[in-house]
Amino acid sequence: MQTEPNETSATVFPVKVAAALLVAQSSLKNVAKGSENKFHNYKYAGAEDVLTEARSHLHEAGLMVLRDSAKVLEDQGTPVLHSVFLVVHESGEAIVLDQEFPVVPGNGRPMDKAVAASLTTSMSYFLRDLLLIPRVDGEEVDTRDDRAYTHQPRKTEKKTKKSTKTAPNKTLLANEIKAIASEDQLERMYDALGNRGLESLEELEIEELRTWSAKLKESKQ
């Protein structure tokens, strides 16, 4: 999920693009929270909120952002969306930036839907990084310690033996993920969950939880 400068743009950074980015970053103080996580009962700035606000400030500064290309690649068996973005000034000057973002398919969410969700969410994270958009009201979510939180499954009329057996394992894996993930990683996870219509880690399939846990452990090494 990192955004990295293209080799050429890192060597020569156009003056007009730099000046315009400074204006855009200075003018955009925060993004209003227009989305809501009903399960955890808090509001947050969703992908659409970020896109709308960032576009306005970029255009006022004489900048536009284009996704020049997007490809789904494999990273150790995990699909990753690799995007190349152009940040273009009205003068014609431009810089090129690369980004990698996870694609998370699952039950009821085939690859095409997973890619579509990642396209939107990855753009919002690219703009967050580009404009240094802060997370509003950090004390509400960022300073809250949810590591001891245990999800209580919704009551259903019927419970299968399979769900009864896997629920404890899901809870353990979810708690493990919350314990080792950074605040930024958790925020991105919950954004990805929201794009899938999910509200908690425990709603994921156990194989997905294992994959997320393994990826987090690798990133800490």
Q: Is 215 left (phi over 0), alpha (psi -120 to 50) or beta?
A: alpha
Within the chain, where are the H helices?
7-11, 15-27, 47-60, 111-131, 138-141, 161-180, 183-195, 206-220
Please tell me the class of the 1-138 domain. alpha beta
Torsion, CA 26, CA 27, CA 29, CA 33, rounded to 10: -140
- Distance (Å, rounded) from C-alpha 7 to C-alpha 5? 6
Question: Distances in Å between the alpha carbon of 203 and those of 7, 39, 206?
Answer: 40, 12, 9
Most confident of 68-77, 84-93, 191-200, 206-215: 84-93
In whole angstroms, give the CA distance from residue 61 to residue 140.
31
Task: Kindly give the pairing relationship between strand 94-102 and strand 78-89.
Answer: antiparallel
- Cα-based angle 118, 121, 122 (whole degrees, multiple of 5): 75
Is 69's pLDDT higher than 90? yes
Kindly tell me the sign of the dihedral angle through the C-alpha atoms of 147, 41, 205, 105: negative
Q: Please report, for the chain, the start and end positions of each structural domain, with discontinuous segments joined by +.
A: 1-138, 148-221
The band of 185, judged by pLDDT with boundaries at 50, 70 and 90, is: confident
Task: Please report which confidence band the pLDDT of residue 9 belongs to, taking 50, 70 and 90 as the band edges.
Answer: very low
Residue 85 CB coordination number (10 Å): 24
Which pLDDT value is given to residue 160? Answer: 45
Rounded CA gap, 35 and 48, in Å?
9
Instruction: Tell whether the model's pLDDT for residue 194 goes beyond 80.
Output: no
Predicted local confidence at residue 11, as pLDDT: 52
pLDDT digits (tens, 9 = 90+) for 144-161: 556 655 655 544 444 444
**76-130, pLDDT tens digit by residue?**
778 899 999 999 999 999 999 999 988 888 777 788 888 998 898 899 999 999 9
Q: What is the pTM of this model?
A: 0.60
| DSSP single-letter state for residue 201 | G
For residues 117 and 78, the answer to whether their CB atoms sit within 8 Å is no
Task: State residue 82's pLDDT score.
Answer: 95
* Neighbouring residues of 114: CB distance < 8 A, sequence distance ≥ 6: 79, 103, 104, 105, 106
Q: Could you identify the residue written with the tokens 């987090």?
A: 216
133 neighbors 30 (Cβ within 8 angstroms): yes
Q: By mean pLDDT, which of 103-107, 133-137, 155-159, 192-196 is the weakest?
A: 155-159
pLDDT in tens, 14-31: 999 999 999 999 999 888
Residues above pLDDT 90, as percent of the chain: 31
